[in-house]
Amino acid sequence: MVKLIAIVGATGLQGGSVLKTFHASGEYKIRAITRNPNSNTVKDISKEFPDVVWVQADLNDLSSLSKAFSGADVVFGVTNNMDAELIQMVQAGDYEAEYRQGKNIVDAAIAAKADSLILSGIYSLKQLSGGKYSEAIHMEAKHKAEQYLLSKASQIKGFRVHLGCYLENFASNARISDDDKVVEFPFFVSPTTKLPLVDVANDTGPVVKYALDHPDECLGVPLEVSGGYYEAQEVARSYTEATGKPARHVQLPHDTTGLFFMTQMFKSFDEFGYFGLRTEFLERNKKIDHKFATPLEFWKNKKWEGPSK
pLDDT for 83 equals 87
Distances (CA, A) of 40 to 35, 37, 287: 12, 9, 37
Q: Report pLDDT digits (tens) over 245-273.
A: 999 999 999 999 998 989 999 999 999 99
Kindly report, residue by residue over 200-241, the tens digit of the pLDDT.
999 999 999 999 999 999 999 999 999 999 999 999 999 999
Query: How, if at all, do strands 183-187 and 175-176 pair?
Result: antiparallel
Partners of 116 in the beta sheet?
74, 157
- Non-local (6+) Cβ contacts of 31 within 8 A are 4, 5, 6, 7, 52, 53, 54, 55, 68, 72
Report the length, in residues, of the chain: 309
Place 277 in a pLDDT band, splitting at 50, 70 and 90. Answer: very high
User: What's the pLDDT score for residue 2?
Assistant: 87
Cβ-defined contacts of 242-245 (< 8 Å, 24+): 242/296, 242/299, 242/300, 243/299, 243/304, 243/306, 245/183, 245/306
Q: What is the CA radius of gyration of the chain?
A: 19
Mean of pLDDT over the chain: 96
Closest-CA residue to 78 (of 98, 54, 94, 56): 98
- CA pseudo-torsion sign 297, 300, 303, 305: positive
> Stretch 192-201: mean pLDDT, rounded?
98
Residue 138 vs residues 81, 221, 248: alpha-carbon distances, Å? 6, 20, 29
H-run or E-run covering 162: strand 157-163
pLDDT at site 37:
95
Q: pLDDT, tens digit, for every residue of 69-93?
A: 999 999 999 999 888 889 899 889 9
The answer to whether the beta carbons of residues 201 and 13 sit under 8 Å apart is yes
Instruction: Give me the pLDDT at residue 292, please.
Output: 97
Q: How confident is the model at residue 304 (pLDDT cuts 50, 70, 90)?
A: confident
Residue 6 host element (H or E): strand 3-8
What per-residue confidence (pLDDT) applies to 303? Answer: 87
Q: Is the pLDDT of residue 1 over 80?
A: no
Q: What is the pTM of this model?
A: 0.96
Residue 81: per-residue pLDDT: 87
The pLDDT tens digits of the residues spanning 116-162 come to 999 999 999 999 999 999 999 999 999 999 999 999 999 999 999 99
Q: Residue 29 burial (CB < 10 Å; 0-12/13-18/19+)?
A: middle
pLDDT, tens digit, 9 for 90 and up, residues 33-74: 999 999 999 999 999 999 999 999 999 999 999 999 999 999
